[in-house]
Structure 1
Amino acid sequence: MTLIDPGTADEITSGRHGDPFSVLGLHGQPDGTLVARVFRPGAEGAQVLDANGKRVATLEPVSDGLFAGPIPRRKTRFPYRLRFTRGPDTWEEGDPYAFGPVLGEIDEYLLGEGTHGSLWDALGAHVRIHDGVSGVHFAVWAPNARRVSVVGGFNDWDGRRHVMRRRGQTGVHEIFIPDLGEGAVYKYEIMGASGEVMPLKADPVGFGAELPPATASVVRDLDGYDWRDGDWMAARGAAHRIDKPISVYEVHLESWRRVPEDGNRSLTYREHAEQLVGYAADMGFTHIELTPISEYPFGGSWGYQPVGLFAPTSRFGTPEDFRAMVDAAHAAGLGVIIDWVPGHFPSDAHGLARFDGTALYEHADPKEGYHPDWNTLVYNYGRTEVRNFLISNAKFWAEEYHIDGLRVDAVASMLYRDYSRKEGEWVPNEHGGRENLEAISFLRQMNEQVYAACPDIMTIAEESTAFPGVSAPTDHGGLGFGFKWNMGWMNDTLRYMAEDPINRKYHHDKMTFGLHYAFSENFVLPLSHDEVVHGKGSLLGRMPGDDWQRFANLRAYFGFMWGHPGKKLLFMGGEFAQPREWNHESSLDWHLLEYGSHKGMQNLVRDLNALYRATPALYEKDSKPEGFRWIDGGNASDSIFVWLREGAEGSAPVLIVANFTPVTRTGYRVGVPQAGYWVEKLNTDAEGYGGSNQGNGGGRASDPVPAHGCDQSLEMTVPPLATVFFELSQG
């Protein structure tokens, strides 16, 4: 009997055989006998054992590590294990080629179509019981590969050992490896169509990763976490409406707070669950936003060049630890938003770049597939499988980790084919235009599917152009985001604040221009990490004047921001006026809170959040023009801005007066639409914030003196470099 064809044996032992499932394992022969073939490099002998551990057959060595032999008195497949020997050593293993496919016909159909709604349930590495045996099922998309193998310490990183089964025309390869479990370290070895072996690849849908700079994937079992946030999940949709207060604390976990006495390490997820969550809740924020936590190789990218989109970075712990942090945030009444990066990916050899030897996830043409700003690669949004991969990832974070929002990074770079490209360096769309029609279609589809799966979360676009309808519904021609960052407001107002007060009268429009378009989108006002890096300095460092004036300027600016229509976002450190530029490699300067000016700034931000959340007029009509009214928006000579915020019927109106000169205005008259007593609810010049404590003794009663087109007015003191909030008393 010929147990194996010599040519086939050579292909198996050299790792060139593309379908070892047709060779290895148990196979019936034309004469009705059953033959076993096993490849185990390093073994000198091999036996087949039945389910009771009884020897069924001893196999003959065919070539180095390859064994074969007939199975006496057996004509059909049966459960078995393998016993190997090498010198005096003996060990047992399960045979991966004894198991049939795990993915079903529906999975195969949806994978082939590129419409699998829960891609992570099919692909990746899953701890499971298959045919009564415990192990790990691996599945990966590599349609142009000649061979795909799982490699790791469990097989000496030998790509000949666990060659995967190709699933029809889906491009997916899968294998069930018995005896493996949680914590196994692995990669994929891929042989391209022309026979070249690629650099080892991390799993695109892997749920865990090694601690950088190591780059392998790690098997993580996502089942079994005991979520305790049922009340939060049931109610969070109401907190994400455009007529609710949303104040976001943006955080880079690696540098928020470090532990000097322990090698200056970063906090773990579970330490953040206690310290960060407790701090953000005490400060009155409604949400924490995390810079990208998907696994990323280069710390200097702050997470914006991710490789493992389905794996929370191992820098701070395990997936279970990350879930515990989200759970703790929800218990404290805080939502968790993550920055999500579908716009580009790094070209690291272990990542998605030329994954199966071809431009699989990216465009082949560098005019479309290369991003000059970040030296990264651009996803091919026109490929159905790539869209499925990205949209499934967005849903994954919402469904598996209870994430409350996705802030989508660099949307502008996705929308335009000529973004940061010179003439001749980009490819026009099919109509000859600059819009990236495939990316636009992808973003719409992403928002539709994410909101269909989790209607109570929110998606937020970082979009810096005037592209219309970013936060409009897709059935109205929009992109379908819940909110959009107002980058124009941020740029204009920061430029204004950097001016010496004596020159601000010439730049008055920078503070008012945003109101011309403030209600065209559902805006978030962002003072993000991007404003305190790359030589821009800190927020405090941008303020002019001596020390007192710089702090006063920033306090007034925060007051202006919290009184302005739009949700709020502040990057960590800004809340206590860290004077130096943010450095991702070191902790925030928490020791500064020993000083009154910094502590005062922190007190102010806490009180602004409290006032904002308790005052419907400051948020209920954020996206409606009837919620805002200029009382005096044209006083450029004094650099004073006065406006009114109004909420739904029955809520008290709020008057905001902002003075951006160091001159105290006494006897200053401001028109108000209603007679009554206007309570001074917050004054950024208060002594507790580090100010000069000039104010209005708790409030002012209106006089029947016309001003600013109103029949009533208040005569007040407007403190220097300060913003003051007045609310009409309902008593």
Structure 2
Amino acid sequence: MAEKQPAWRADPEDIARIVSGQHDDPFAILGLHHSGGRWVSRAFIPHAERVEARSLEGKVVGRLDKVDDRGFFEGVIDIDGVQPIVHHCGNAGGEWDVADPYSFGPVLGPMDDYYIGEGSHLRLFDKLGAHFMTFEGVEGTHFAVWAPNARRVSVIGSFNEWDGRRHPMRRRAETGVWEIFLPEVAPGAQYKYEIIGKDGNRLPLKADPFAQQSELRPKTASVVADPTPFKWTDDAYMAARSSRDYRREPISIYEVHLGSWRRRPDGSFLSYEQLAEQLVPYVADLGFTHIELLPVSEHPYDPSWGYQPTGLYAPTARFGDPAGFARFIDTAHNAGLGVIMDWVPAHFPTDEHGLARFDGTALYEHADPRQGFHPDWNTAIYNFGRKEVSSFLTNNALYWLEKFHIDALRVDAVASMLYLDYSRQPGQWVPNRFGGNENIEAVAFLQRVNAETYGQQPGTFTVAEESTSWAGVTAPTYDKGLGFGFKWNMGFMNDTLRYMQRDPIHRRFHHNDMTFGLLYAFSENFTLPLSHDEVVHGKGSLLTKMPGDDWQKFANLRAYYAFMWGHPGKKLLFMGQEFAQRDEWNEAQALDWWLLDAPAHEGVRRLVSDLNTVYRELPALHARDCEPEGFEWIIASDRANSVFAWVRRAPGAEPVVVISNMTPVLREKYRLPMPASGRWTERINTDAGWYAGSNKGNQGVVMATEGNEYGYPATAEIVLPPLSTLILQHEPDI
């Protein structure tokens, strides 16, 4: 008669499932268990021939029997209660210690379950992902990932030979989160998740959605980040920004793609530290107030410019580690520069290591391709109506603002989020519950992100790249608006660039292209963007868009820049356009810095610097950028001469007059109504020799005399240089 197996022994079927990597509840078998008044330890340790259980202090508490040749051990041990166990292992090749991850309790608690389940957790980036910590007296890394429809999830990495049988995770049934604490796994370790779907199939290995560091492409593993807090030195900057009303502050943005601004002599990328040393002082010297970065979230494909991210929580490894990125921002803040980051919550790529069908189901995306697939970019669209997805993205916004002191998020492709029929033909989209084309869930998500951003991180702001006439993009959420701080004015960009590309002889017939924007200029808080999208994919650079010979191209561009800087709205200029880059942008190479040796190119750079100085110094040019009382036309209908003139005002500030002559004709006694008599200083003349112009102008001063036949307070006769813009500042009577 066969000897009866002791009750504390594991069921052979459970053992078989453990060693084959199929068990969905490994903590029910592995680790410590109390059975019949005894403590039993079980472990799966491939390659071991013998295992001895020890306490953290090194005391031997028992020996485990090998009950399966593939590495399953179990045995009775002598302990007083649940405690971490260290397995001292040996084979013919030597001996080693393994702290038993299944002898540790859970790191997440019931309150985490409650808030995760509710979708209201605002510290997910501290709970999910990989976090190095000391837990129950042992150093190691806690891993947690949301995969509610998975049958089994394992952490795999160099620490376990990328073997999914070794470290299957604990499932928290209430939330669908899987977690495990792995002792001795340290920062720098590469890892992924091996997931078995509900149908029993092993899925492609997945990177961690909450990973705070990633491998350098083409590798795709996540990396356990160093938890050492960065030593910030920007306290003064952070304190000052918290009290600012950015609608009434000067905002002049230099938009940058970090991979192609400048490169090392061998063509490789600059590091975050080198960018801090070179880019920050360059932008500060030009007088910009902010640097805007094309997305720095980890992404697999360089030509996507970061707009198809796979690691939403990880600064790209192309330029260094997260501490290097923090150092870049700290350096910018100490130079007085804010940092805006392009953020992409609209869609994600379908690379197999990313979010697509993460646990074998449409988890982050919609299952229906009419809702979940983006035809323009061949990407997946987030399911904004799912509370866990909304929470994932909202936490990501807060993560960048808090952990990296980012000053603002420019949200990409907002229009594609708002409309269910965006880029779709009839029958290719699903109406909302009211039968309309508005994406109600996306609207609620954007309102939530903006409300949490302004509520949790005072002094930060958000910007929408929204290309339609959706009402209330920058209206507050309590007034049913989307809650953004600013909106890109795509209409201004399209209309004015279309006008500037015309030969000056034809501009009189398209005068309204330059004036139309003032009909809606104060309906939102606008930013005027001359962005990367206008100088790529066959569109040419801004300089090559301008008509005429080389002299006229530069004169047109200078006049256009000053027109824009004098126009209501915040300013944005893409890198290279500040010195009139001739070739269109190519993300695979650096800008043509040698052009600055040419006077015409250096002249444009000088003009941009001076425009930023004047814009910052004169409240009339910025303090009422978003309010109609800050603007008044003086000349809006001189089509014959293609002349535009207006006055900018702000409370307590002297008025500023902006005049543009968009023809190559010198006008020597142009009669101009003025808002005040007296002396007006010519702060900007884009035709000045300093900018490589023809040096025509008013010798720096315009005198206005009282009276005007059209009812204005004063009149001046001024010289309008060819293809130029003048900015005049009124001097108060002394």
Same fold (TM over 0.5): yes
SS at match of 1:242: helix
Pair 1:172-2:177 in alignment: yes
**Aligned 8 A contact 2:43 2:74 in 1:** no
Distance in 1 of aligned mates of 2:322 and 2:61: 43
Deviation at 1:214, TM superposition (A): 0.4
Secondary structure (helix, strand or coil) at the match of 2:259 reads helix
State the 1:111 CA deviation.
Answer: 1.1
1:686 to 685, 688, 705: 688
Q: Which residue of 1 aligns with 2:546?
A: 543
CA contact (8 A) 1:669 1:707 kept: no
Q: Is the 8 A contact 2:63 2:77 kept in 1?
A: no
CA-CA distance at 1:72 after TM superposition: 4.5
- State the match for 1:248 in structure 2: 253
Distance 1:83 1:660, change over 3 A: same
2-structure distance, mates of 1:695, 1:338: 40
User: Conserved in 1, the CA contact under 8 Å of 2:19 and 2:72?
Assistant: no
Q: C-alpha offsets along residues 487-521 of structure 1, whole Å, 9 cap, x if unaligned?
A: 00000000000000011111110000000000000
1:48-447 equivalence runs, <5 A: 48-74=53-79, 76-260=81-265, 263-447=266-450
Deviation at 1:424, TM superposition (A): 0.7
Amino acid at match of 2:151: R
* 2: CA distance, partners of 1:498 / 1:79: 72
CA contact (8 A) 1:678 1:726 kept: yes
Q: CA deviation at 1:700?
A: 1.4
Residues 239, 245 of structure 1: 8 Å contact kept: no
SS at match of 1:468: coil
TM-score by length of 1: 0.98
Matched residue type, 1:257: R
Tell whether the 8 Å contact from 2:371 to 2:430 is kept in structure 1 after alignment. yes
Matches within 5 A, 1:408-487: 408-487=411-490
Contact 2:647 2:675 in 1 (8 A): no
Q: Secondary structure at 2:246's aligned position in 1?
A: coil
SS in 2 for 1:439: helix
Confirm or deny: 8 A CA contact 1:209 1:314 kept in the other structure.
Answer: yes
Q: Structure 1 residues 129, 199: closer, same or farther in 2, change over 3 A? A: same
Amino acid at match of 2:507: R
Distance 1:221 1:422 in 2: 48
Residues 653 and 46 of structure 1, relative CA distance in 2, 3 Å threshold: same
1:18 matched to 2:21? The reply is no
Checking the alignment, whether the CA contact within 8 Å between 1:4 and 1:68 is kept in structure 2 is no
Which stretch of the first structure deviates more once superposed, 216-225 or 415-424? 216-225
**Root mean square deviation, CA, Å:** 1.1
1:384-441 alpha-carbon deviations (Å, 9 max, x no partner): 1100000010001111110000000000000000000011100011111111111011
Q: What is the deviation of 1:711?
A: 4.1
Deviations 1:433-454 (A, max 9, x none): 1111110111111101111101
Task: Verify the 8 A CA contact 1:670 1:707 in the aligned structure 2.
Answer: no
Relative to 1, partners in 2 of residues 1:402 and 1:711: Cα closer, same or farther, differing over 3 Å?
closer
CA contact (8 A) 1:632 1:708 kept: no
Q: Which moved further from structure 2: 671-680 or 701-710?
A: 701-710
SS at match of 1:610: helix
Work out the CA distance in 1 between the residues paired with 2:33 and 2:68: 19
Residue in structure 1 matched with residue 13 of structure 2 by the alignment: 7
CA contact (8 A) 1:616 1:647 kept: yes
Native 8 Å contact 2:536 2:585 kept in 1: yes
Deviations 1:63-122 (A, max 9, x none): 134333333444633332111122132111111101000011111111121110111011
- Once the two structures are TM-superposed, the CA of residue 154 in structure 1 deviates from its matched residue by 0.5
Tell me, in whole angstroms, the C-alpha distance in 2 between the residues paired with 1:73 and 1:499. Answer: 88
Pair 1:65–1:240, CA change in 2 (3 A): farther
AA matched with 2:29: V
Q: Judge conservation of contact 1:631–1:708 (CA < 8 Å) in 2.
A: no
Amino acid corresponding to residue 37 of structure 1 in structure 2: R
Alignment correspondent of 1:667 = 669
**Counterpart position of 2:530:** 527
Look up the SS of the partner of 1:174 in the other structure.
strand
**Does the 8 Å CA contact 1:32/1:75 hold for their aligned counterparts?**
no
CA offset digits 1:232-289 (Å, max 9, x no partner): 01011344520110000000000010012xx211111011111111101000000000
What is residue 560 of structure 1 aligned with on the other side?
Answer: 563
Letter in 2 for 1:359: A
Per the TM alignment, residue 347 of structure 1 is displaced from its structure 2 partner at its CA by 0.3
Summarize deviations over 1:624-669 as a string: whole Å, max 9, x none. Answer: 1111011001011111101110111x21101111011000001111
- The 1-side partners of 2:435 and 2:685 are apart by 54
Q: Is the contact made by 1:664 and 1:717 (CA closer than 8 Å) also made in structure 2? A: yes
Aligned to 1:125, the other structure's residue is in SS state: strand
The 1:69–1:431 alpha-carbon spacing in structure 2 relative to 1, beyond 3 Å, is: closer
Please state whether the residue corresponding to 1:703 is helix, strand or coil: strand
Give the fraction of aligned pairs with identical amino acids, expressed as a percent. Answer: 57
Aligned to 2:717: 715
SS at match of 1:207: coil
- Which stretch of the first structure deviates more once superposed, 112-121 or 378-387? 112-121
| Cα shift at 1:351 | 0.3
Structure 1 residue 598 displacement after superposition: 0.6
Q: Secondary structure at the match of 1:337?
A: strand
CA distance in 2 between partners of 1:6 and 1:73 (Å): 24
* Matched-pair contact (CA < 8 Å) for 1:44–1:65: no
Residue type matched to 2:619 in 1? P
Aligned residues of 1:240 and 1:457 also touching (Cα < 8 A): no
Q: Distance in 1 between matches of 2:709 and 2:131?
A: 70
Q: Cα–Cα, structure 1 residues 494 and 238, in superposed 2: closer, same or farther, change >3 Å?
A: farther
Question: Which letter maps to 1:543?
Answer: M
Aligned length: 727
1:227 shift after superposition? 0.9
Superposition map of 1:607-622 within 5 A? 607-622=610-625
Matched, 1:631 2:637: no
Counterpart-to-counterpart distance in 1, 2:637 and 2:105: 76
Q: Is 2:667–2:719's contact at 8 Å kept on the other side of the alignment? A: yes
Secondary structure at 1:265 match in 2: coil
395-404 or 71-80: bigger deviation: 71-80
Amino acid at match of 2:449: M
1:33 counterpart residue number: 38
Cα deviation, 1:497-552, whole Å, max 9, x if unaligned, reads: 00000111111100000000000000000000000011100000100000000000
Cα separation, partners in 2 of 1:73 and 1:288, compared to 1, 3 Å: closer
**Residues 47 and 71 in structure 2, CA contact (< 8 A), matched pair in contact too:** no
Sort the Cα spacing of 1:446 and 1:241 in 2 relative to 1 into closer, same or farther, 3 A.
same
